A and B are shown apart, each in its own frame.
Chain A
């Protein structure tokens, strides 16, 4: 279904801009009118990470007049494998500043609005109201449901993309779409998975180029919506598989039991993040990286068990640790190796997965199990900075 252009062509183009955008102006479907719509458009990109990087670059190059960028994070070396807007020279800088510098180099005609706060429910609707279109390239369910609900309340369309390893999904959601075509993300997935079933790219990995595959679809949809050309992805989910090299479309419909979204809620709680594994944090015996180092130096009897995946172990591991990847039978395996009374210290990347294993062991009556606080990342940071991080 074709939609009317989202943005009126109020802005005009100068001589240099006409030259710069000439390859667009030559396409009859875009033309001067479409390019003026792009220049008049105000687009907010949430997250200047994997998906944000290519979409920002292409939207800037395409001549979107105002780009808002919101991200609270700083550029890390491990971002450069896929977040192509950032550079070696901007590692350590705020991502919005790094992205802004790249965009200024690329297209000085783009007006930038930088937001360095974390997106919060208190300000989301008001922020979104200032833009014509939102692009969601965030990396967690809590923010994704917040973006969805705030877009519904602000009446804004948004382009949604999501990636994991070799696969990506893209769609356009717009509750207030014309002719009753309205849909939002909750029609696709009414509820998020619990945190233990929602691995992130920082734990599960992602093919860097996948960001471009999905980001380029997101930017294309943005240009189509702004200029009113073509058939937008509203009502369709695009599923991309880089290994099979297939694009599959799935028709979306309003969920049978959908409820109207009338206000924002507590998205941490909705995503199960306030109740990690259903126990009090203080009930989980833990040890800091520095304490573990002292324990090892004293030669105290203990075993360190690393519950991460094989690929993570291959990147980096603590000398002398035993690798036993988290699985449904891990408790039995640990008992077979060490019995229930050996002092055990469990760890993963940052502490969440090992905490889940620890609770299982406690339930089975293991007497002396502790969790390494902050996981191997804390060990690298506080004890052995010569080890690579990820």
Chain B
């Protein structure tokens, strides 16, 4: 059951410049593990000691996982996951 993941500009060097990738996973944590198998290095950019970095947000459809169940947030077929890191350019 693939989940569509939207990859931010900053992480695209790790996904061979793909803006969207399809990954399977029952929870956000599992999704990140599987993404890292396919695209090594991505987990380190998202997680810090088993929790999300505090400068990266993850949305399942429109829901910020911090307000659902963090990395335990359950995914279902057809969900869209968006990774949104903080940027400061001006």
Task: List residues of A whose CB falls within 8 A of some B CB.
Answer: 47, 49-52, 136-141, 144, 161-167, 169, 188-193, 197-201, 204, 206, 239, 250-251, 253, 255-256, 327-328
B45 at the interface (CB under 8 A from A): yes
> Once bound together, how far apart are the Cα atoms of A190 and B9, in whole Å?
21
Q: Are B89 and A201 in contact (CB under 8 A)?
A: yes
Known pairs A167-B8, A190-B54; list 17 more (Cβ under 8 Å): A50-B89, A139-B89, A161-B90, A162-B88, A162-B90, A163-B89, A164-B9, A188-B57, A189-B57, A191-B53, A191-B54, A191-B55, A200-B88, A201-B89, A204-B89, A251-B64, A328-B41
Closest to B84 in A: A239
> Once bound together, how far apart are the Cα atoms of A52 and B10, in whole Å?
24
Q: Are B84 and A140 in contact (CB under 8 A)?
A: no
Neighbouring B residues of A191 by C-beta, 8 Å: 53-55
Closest to A202 in B: B89
Closest to A52 in B: B90
Contact of B88 among A139, A250, A253, A255 (CB under 8 A): A139
Q: Are B9 and A166 in contact (CB under 8 A)?
A: yes
Neighbouring A residues of B40 by C-beta, 8 Å: 328
Neighbouring B residues of A199 by C-beta, 8 Å: 10
Q: Smallest Cβ distance from B60 to chain A, in angstroms?
A: 12
Q: Are B55 and A253 in contact (CB under 8 A)?
A: no
Q: Smallest Cβ distance from B88 to chain A, in angstroms?
A: 5
14 contacts between A and B (CB under 8 A): A139-B88, A141-B86, A144-B88, A161-B90, A162-B87, A162-B89, A192-B88, A193-B56, A193-B86, A197-B10, A197-B45, A198-B86, A250-B84, A328-B41
Neighbouring A residues of B84 by C-beta, 8 Å: 169, 239, 250
Neighbouring A residues of B41 by C-beta, 8 Å: 328
Closest to A205 in B: B89
Neighbouring B residues of A52 by C-beta, 8 Å: 90
Q: Are A167 and B90 in contact (CB under 8 A)?
A: no
> Once bound together, how far apart are the Cα atoms of A47 and B9, in whole Å?
24
Q: Smallest Cβ distance from B14 to chain A, in angstroms?
A: 9
> Once bound together, how far apart are the Cα atoms of A144 and B59, in whole Å?
23
Neighbouring B residues of A163 by C-beta, 8 Å: 87, 89-90
Q: Are A198 and B88 in contact (CB under 8 A)?
A: yes
Neighbouring A residues of B67 by C-beta, 8 Å: 253, 256
Closest to B63 in A: A251
Contact of A193 among B55, B59, B64, B90 (CB under 8 A): B55
Q: Are A251 and B62 in contact (CB under 8 A)?
A: yes
> Once bound together, how far apart are the Cα atoms of A281 and B86, in whole Å?
28
Neighbouring B residues of A255 by C-beta, 8 Å: 66
Q: Smallest Cβ distance from B8 to chain A, in angstroms?
A: 8
Closest to B11 in A: A197
> Once bound together, how far apart are the Cα atoms of A47 and B13, in whole Å?
30
Q: Known contacts A250-B64, A256-B66, A328-B41; is A192 also within 8 Å of B86 by CB?
A: yes
B2 at the interface (CB under 8 A from A): no
Q: Are A49 and B90 in contact (CB under 8 A)?
A: yes
